[in-house]
Structure 1
Amino acid sequence: MPKTYQEINEKIARGEAVIVTAEEVIDIVKERGTKEAAEYVDVVTTATFGPMCSSGAFLNFGHADPPIRMAEIELNNVEAYGGLAAVDTYIGATQPSSDKGAEYGGAHVICDLIDGKEVHLHATSPGTDCYPRKEIDTWVGLKDMNEAYLYNPRNCYQNYNAAINTSKKRIYTYMGILHPNMGNITYSTAGALSPLLNDPLYKTIGMGTRIFLAGAQGYVSWMGTQFNSGGARDDKGYPLGGAGTLAVMGEMREMNTKYIQPAVFERYGVSMFVGIGIPIPILDEEMMQFVSVTDAELHTNIMDYSDKDRPVIKKVSYAELRSGSVEIDGKKIRTSPLSSLTKARTIADELTGWIKKGEFFLQEPVTKFPVNNTLNSLKIKEGGNK
């Protein structure tokens, strides 16, 4: 019997809803079968915690007296964007500082603010009749700002390739350090716990979906950038490559750095680990089939990051990657995750608790995302289309 969002939310309000994690539901389906499990379980929680470079924050500082139209802005010597209104800015997680380089960047500023610290604000302006001040130098914290919300244009990759290096020299990448001669393999997906792998066709995750974001309640605001839902999939609909992504947003004042942390990748740059949890309503038997997927059934490609074309070396399951090694050409190669499964499990459990206590209700998407979207690549052109 199909369920509705309203029916599930009413059960949550009464304290009668059955909520389990995407790992726990696998055994329930084994014991009860898909049909009975779909009738029994109301919500399945999913989660991920990994580096998400395309992240940042919108901030509004309020007006000084006399006022300034900020054009060039730095927070703790990290450049923030000055092309918005007078005292609005966007600071990107990967922006390095002017004095410490990649050792401190936008992600650190964001997390310092969430931790309750004040950061140094320096801004300049050419000055105008209505905004006569030309420079400001002060300290600000979240308590001083009007608005401060995380807005991440591309988080929560549905799937992602694993990385290897077949060359004779060590290389430094956003997938971590890759040792020469296929010395190691890195990957960065929560597998069977990962949100979009549990809703591969975006039936319940769309614009307006309420989520756990860095310890706060946030929302999916739109498709993430590089949304490539039309890429290769297996016969059950699960993607073999990056596929879908999410743009997400949430109130920074409610966040906790237990679930959002800066990171520095050696000889690559700054990134930010972001914790995201998404509840999936079990509306019907099909959704139960999707959420009961196992690591053994989910696959990705190991790609050679020493080659600009990134050829596929081998297709593997997440069960193989999580085993600690993968065999290629008779050689056992050590595997290691960039994302934290332990932290993802903590997030899924936390979200489960919120729902059980009636502190978090499901939000039906305002708009669903397409399953046939493709990507453009940047072409080098001479002249323009004038």
Structure 2
Amino acid sequence: MHPSQSVQPEAHVSEEHVVNKTLDSINERIRKGKAVVLTAEEMTKAVSEMGKVEAAKEVDVVTTGTFSPMCSSGMLFNIGQRGESMRVSQMTVNDVPAYAGIAAVDCYLGATETSLDDPLNKVYPGEFKYGGGHVIEDLVRGRSVHITASSYGTDCYPRRSLELDVTLEDLPFAQLLNPRNGYQNYNVAVNLDDKIIYTYMGPLKPGVRNANFATAGCLSPLFNDPLFKTIGLGTKIFLGGGVGWVLGPGTQHNPSPPRTERGVPTRPAGTMMVRGEMKNMDGRFLRGVSMLGYGCSLAVGLGVPIPVLNEEIAWYTGVSDEDIIMPVKDYGEDYPKGSPRVLAEVSYADLKSGQIELMGKKVQTVPMTSYMLSLEVAETLKSWILEKGFTLTAPQELLPSS
């Protein structure tokens, strides 16, 4: 069977379950300090060595992690009323525009919004070195940012202008609110054109001289729960170095792509909408990103704990880099036209090796995701469970699976 053929993944694990844990029993083991917790990388080895049934008996939780640019991210915040009341209609933070069309002094700052007065853009149009993602990182790192706000004025909100410097601690409300994070699989980007192009996947050399990819492989959260059996509204997660929550499916959530026998999608698939309190976050896991010739973004550290309730979930969390098949697409001509062809399919293991064979030649691979920091996210989440009693939450509504 070709790896991208659509199958019924459950057929591979349809034998009668001999392990049947509950979330309550796992949390009780966490509270008593008896839980067995493995990172997703460790679980891959465990399932390979002992099989899914024994792994399900032994392991209670698998921690996942990814650290990658996630453009669909941003900050929902409130600056509070400062003396005379104001209903903000326009705002900038460190010269980066924020959306103020919400109410009074509520605003949303997108990670990809760019500075109005970026000196690099004046020299090289279309290139930016500072944007919304950098503002978010600055705030989380305790730095002061400069806010300017204006209003048309009303009887109840007479103030027309405001200018002040604030830190994160000065803001009465500041939440990371990301509409689309943690993509379950994504494109490998190449360029068939005869000139270099600059994309959200980084610079792509002409003539297919590099292949850029973005995922954490076997560590990636949604590869470890490919059919969304444990993740949904109310799932407690690691987000930006602090505690966050899944709000539901992210924008562009596509639960129905072709899948391998292990349930792994072979095309861009599921996503999550997430939020978390910024005052508890860590700048190590939230980094402003500037992409040459494209713009700005935010690299986000995201980790989801997967409860090993039965051997089916153990089987899914045993996913390896070799199991993950990714589509190669041309960003030189096909992607801009909106219907990119799949030029080939390659495994994450091959991409991770540093080169792949494509169109008859060896091509250098370039990761957009930091595997080292992805592993650090998974290991940090593991330590929270083992040392701080971080318990798991039951989703009130699972991510859509069809």
TM-score category (smaller protein): over 0.9
Look up the match of 2:248: 222
RMSD: 0.9
Q: 2:115 aligned with 1:89, yes or no?
A: no
Letter in 2 for 1:33: G
User: What is the CA–CA distance in structure 2 between the aligned matches of 1:170 and 1:190, rounded to whole Å?
Assistant: 26
Please report how far the alpha carbon of residue 7 of structure 1 lies from its aligned counterpart in structure 2 after TM superposition: 0.3
Look up the match of 2:74: 56
User: What is the CA–CA distance in structure 2 between the aligned matches of 1:368 and 1:215, rounded to whole Å?
Assistant: 24
1:181-196 superposed matches below 5 A: 181-196=207-222
Provide Cα deviations, 1:36-60, integer angstroms capped at 9, x if missing partner. 1100000000000000000000111
2:47 pairs, out of 29, 35, 40, with: 29
1:159-198 superposed matches below 5 A: 159-198=185-224
3-state secondary structure, aligned to 1:6 = helix
User: What is the CA–CA distance in structure 2 between the aligned matches of 1:353 and 1:369, rounded to whole Å?
Assistant: 26
| Paired residues of 1:163 and 1:185 also in contact (CA < 8 A) | yes
Look up the match of 1:118: 144
Q: 2:259 aligned with 1:241, yes or no?
A: no
User: What is the CA–CA distance in structure 1 between the aligned matches of 2:326 and 2:190, rounded to whole Å?
Assistant: 13
1:314 pairs, out of 333, 341, 344, with: 344
Please report how far the alpha carbon of residue 112 of structure 1 lies from its aligned counterpart in structure 2 after TM superposition: 0.8
User: What is the CA–CA distance in structure 2 between the aligned matches of 1:119 and 1:157, rounded to whole Å?
Assistant: 31
| Paired residues of 1:12 and 1:358 also in contact (CA < 8 A) | no
Provide Cα deviations, 1:332-376, integer angstroms capped at 9, x if missing partner. 11111000000001111100000001331101101012222xxxx
Please report how far the alpha carbon of residue 30 of structure 1 lies from its aligned counterpart in structure 2 after TM superposition: 2.5
User: What is the CA–CA distance in structure 2 between the aligned matches of 1:143 and 1:327, rounded to whole Å?
Assistant: 51
Look up the match of 1:5: 23
Look up the match of 2:283: 257
Letter in 1 for 2:114: P
Please report how far the alpha carbon of residue 232 of structure 1 lies from its aligned counterpart in structure 2 after TM superposition: 1.9
1:35-46 superposed matches below 5 A: 35-46=53-64
Letter in 2 for 1:171: I
1:144 pairs, out of 170, 179, 183, with: 170
Look up the match of 2:34: 16
Stretch deviating more after TM superposition (15-24 or 234-243): 234-243
Provide Cα deviations, 1:190-237, integer angstroms capped at 9, x if missing partner. 111100010000001111100000100100012100001112222332
Look up the match of 2:370: 340
Matched residues, number: 372
User: What is the CA–CA distance in structure 2 between the aligned matches of 1:30 and 1:318, rounded to whole Å?
Assistant: 18
Look up the match of 1:67: 85
Provide Cα deviations, 1:298-335, integer angstroms capped at 9, x if missing partner. 10111011123321111011111111111123211111
User: What is the CA–CA distance in structure 2 between the aligned matches of 1:64 and 1:329, rounded to whole Å?
Assistant: 62
1:238-317 superposed matches below 5 A: 238-307=264-333, 308=337, 309-317=339-347
Please report how far the alpha carbon of residue 167 of structure 1 lies from its aligned counterpart in structure 2 after TM superposition: 1.2
Stretch deviating more after TM superposition (353-362 or 231-240): 231-240
Look up the match of 1:203: 229
Provide Cα deviations, 1:102-139, integer angstroms capped at 9, x if missing partner. 21111111111111111111111111111111101111
User: What is the CA–CA distance in structure 1 between the aligned matches of 2:116 and 2:373, rounded to whole Å?
Assistant: 32
| Paired residues of 1:212 and 1:351 also in contact (CA < 8 A) | yes
| Paired residues of 1:15 and 1:358 also in contact (CA < 8 A) | no
User: What is the CA–CA distance in structure 2 between the aligned matches of 1:310 and 1:173, rounded to whole Å?
Assistant: 14
| TM-score where L is the length of structure 1 | 0.95
| Paired residues of 1:185 and 1:334 also in contact (CA < 8 A) | yes
1:340-359 superposed matches below 5 A: 340-359=370-389
User: What is the CA–CA distance in structure 2 between the aligned matches of 1:359 and 1:70, rounded to whole Å?
Assistant: 42
3-state secondary structure, aligned to 2:27 = helix
Please report how far the alpha carbon of residue 29 of structure 1 lies from its aligned counterpart in structure 2 after TM superposition: 1.7
| TM-score where L is the length of structure 2 | 0.91
| Paired residues of 1:227 and 1:244 also in contact (CA < 8 A) | yes
User: What is the CA–CA distance in structure 2 between the aligned matches of 1:314 and 1:234, rounded to whole Å?
Assistant: 16
Structure number with the higher helix fraction is 2
1:327 pairs, out of 338, 345, 357, with: 357
User: What is the CA–CA distance in structure 1 between the aligned matches of 2:198 and 2:284, rounded to whole Å?
Assistant: 27
Instruction: Report runs of 4+ in structure 1 exceeding 3 Å deviation.
Output: none
Letter in 1 for 2:31: A
User: What is the CA–CA distance in structure 1 between the aligned matches of 2:388 and 2:145, rounded to whole Å?
Assistant: 36
Letter in 1 for 2:372: T
| Paired residues of 1:159 and 1:241 also in contact (CA < 8 A) | yes
| Paired residues of 2:30 and 2:389 also in contact (CA < 8 A) | no
Stretch deviating more after TM superposition (138-147 or 88-97): 138-147
Letter in 2 for 1:359: G
User: What is the CA–CA distance in structure 1 between the aligned matches of 2:400 and 2:158, rounded to whole Å?
Assistant: 48
* Unaligned runs of at least 5 residues, structure 2: 1-18, 122-127
Please report how far the alpha carbon of residue 31 of structure 1 lies from its aligned counterpart in structure 2 after TM superposition: 2.5
Percent pairwise identity? 47
